[in-house]
A and B are shown apart, each in its own frame.
Chain A
Amino acid sequence: MLKTINLTKKFGDLLVFDNVNFSIDKGEKVVIIGPSGAGKSTFIRCLNFLEFPTSGEVYFDGKKIDESSNLPLMRKRIGMVFQHFNLFPHLTALENVTIGPKQVNGLKDKEAQEIAMHYLSKVGLDKRVSHYPSQLSGGEKQRVAIARALAMKPDLMLFDEPTSALDVEMIKEVLDTIEKVALEGMTMIVVTHEISFAKEVADRLIFMADKKIVEESTPREFFENPQTDRAKKFLDKIVNIAV
């Protein structure tokens, strides 16, 4: 479904990641894990061209995507959930979710609202639809953001550290929501530090460090039997933090 060949991103002279070859098939759930500064977030932001890769190729559904492609058309098929939610503060929860279907897909108010209500109840927020983002908790905000992305009925979802900005007691509700979406068959790429989530949901785990993909395996293999020293070192650290 989505593939990168030798994808490289630099900010000026600063190399963010180098020659990343990656692919994901329909229905697959891939978790990207790794130390901060490894380029994980920038990498998934290059997949929907929120950042433009410096070199290399991105293929979506077999078609090469570059700066001259119809990016809005591609982006509406790739949902994205951000670390800091990025809800639209001037719109209610419901309006946050209807605005895409209305303005991008040209749906009438009523249709857009039906779709939005469907996804807001899926994330468990059908009782909070007329609240503004400032009136919602972090976990609720992130669930609205998930509903906003789902309402475009994307083929692929990108999650950029979806629980990193949350208070501890809200992490579970968001992870449960993402897991629910995963169980329904959504293809997804999740950048996260949540090990138990990775073990439970991911078909494949990618360990990114030092600006490249260092290890790629199943989550179980990775956590129980990491192959590289770099991965071992990383796991030592995060296990220590977890304890």
Chain B
Amino acid sequence: MQFKLDIFVQNFPYLLGGLKLTLGLTLFAMVFGIALGLGLALLKISKNSLLKWIATIYIEVVRGTPLLLQILIVYFVFAKIISLDAFTAGVVALSLNSAAYVSEIFRAGIESIPKGQMEAALSVGMNYSQAMRYIILPQTIRRVLPPVTNEIVAMFKDTSLVMVMGLAELTYRAKQISASTANVMTPYIAAGLVYLVFTIPLTRYAQRLERRFSKGA
């Protein structure tokens, strides 16, 4: 039951092999999550009440149910219907989930831009989408960078949940190693260390950004 250095050294390369999958899932899920999240945020602040409702319901449902449950539904229901491989299903589930969280970050960011900015943009003759694109969103993106970075950290950790699809990412491999070596502590601690190598610098980075922006730079 204790930490064994020889088990650690012997199995670390195999464990680290799972990192590729973990990072790949994070990267794809964040790209799609951010794009989809921005879209949802724009729907949610739109004047069209139907679009607003669609966005609101989506966000509430996704944020109100466990990610693990969402992964199971995507993998065992949708992925079977439209025959997705496990990796794609994982990316889909994680993207759909992070989109809901990212959209709330974007919405709050957009709403934090003073009203005068939109008015000034309209007053030079821009239409709504030009004002969004050239004036509001560029300012929003600077403001949401810290919380979005934190969301990336959360996403990176959440990729461990796709082990239920049998994807051999970090946590899945840790479990495999613990089964084959009959040592629980070593592989899980090793996996934890690998996660921390990424999450600590990213979290620090987000904190630094936050401090910089709060100084009004």
Task: Spell out A's residues near B (CB within 8 Å).
Answer: 48, 50, 71-73, 75-80, 82, 84, 86-90, 99-100, 103-105, 134, 145, 148-149, 152
Contact across chains for A50 and B117 when beta carbons are under 8 A apart: no
Which residues of chain A have C-beta atoms less than 8 A from B134's C-beta? 99, 103
Q: Find the A residue at minimum CB distance from B123.
A: A80
Q: Flag if A152 contacts B122 (CB, 8 Å).
A: no
Bound-complex Cα distance A103 to B114 (A): 21
Q: Contacts A50-B122, A50-B123, A80-B120 given; 10 further ones with Cβ under 8 A?
A: A50-B119, A73-B125, A75-B124, A80-B123, A86-B116, A86-B119, A88-B117, A90-B139, A103-B130, A148-B124
Whether B216 and A75, one on each chain, are in contact in the complex, defined by CB atoms closer than 8 angstroms, is no
**Looking across the interface, which residue of chain B has its beta carbon closest to that of A152?**
B124
Cross-chain contact A149 with B117 (CB below 8 angstroms): no
> Counting CB contacts under 8 A, is B68 at the interface?
no
**Within residues 86 to 122 of chain B, which ones have a CB less than 8 A from any CB in chain A?**
114, 116-117, 119-122
Instruction: Name the one of A76, A82, A104 contacting B120, with C-beta atoms under 8 angstroms.
Output: A82
Where the two chains meet, the residues of B that have a C-beta atom closer than 8 Å to any C-beta of A are 114, 116-117, 119-127, 130, 134-135, 138-139, 142, 216
A119 vs B123: C-alpha distance in the bound complex, in angstroms? 17
Once the chains bind, are B130 and A149 in contact (CB under 8 Å)?
Answer: no
CB distance B138 to A90 under 8 Å?
yes
Distance in angstroms from B114 CB to nearest chain A CB is 8
Q: Is the CB of A75 within 8 A of B116?
A: no
CB closest residue in chain A, given B113: A89
CB neighbours of B123 from chain A (8 A): 48, 50, 75, 78-80, 82, 149
Chain B residues with CB under 8 A of A76: 124-125
Could you say which residues of chain A place their CB within 8 Å of the CB of B126? 72, 100, 103-104
Report the 7 A-B pairs with minimum CB-CB distance, sorted nearest first.
A76-B125, A100-B124, A86-B120, A86-B116, A80-B123, A104-B125, A72-B127
> With A89-B139, A90-B139 in contact, do A100 and B117 touch (Cβ < 8 Å)?
no
Enumerate 23 A-B pairs (CB-CB under 8 Å) in ascending A order.
Answer: A48-B123, A50-B119, A50-B122, A72-B125, A72-B127, A75-B123, A76-B124, A76-B125, A82-B120, A86-B117, A86-B119, A87-B120, A88-B121, A88-B139, A89-B139, A90-B139, A99-B124, A103-B130, A104-B130, A105-B125, A134-B216, A148-B124, A152-B125
Residues on the B chain within 8 Å of A77, using CB: 125
Q: A99-B134, A134-B216 are in contact. Are A88 and B127 (CB under 8 A)?
A: no
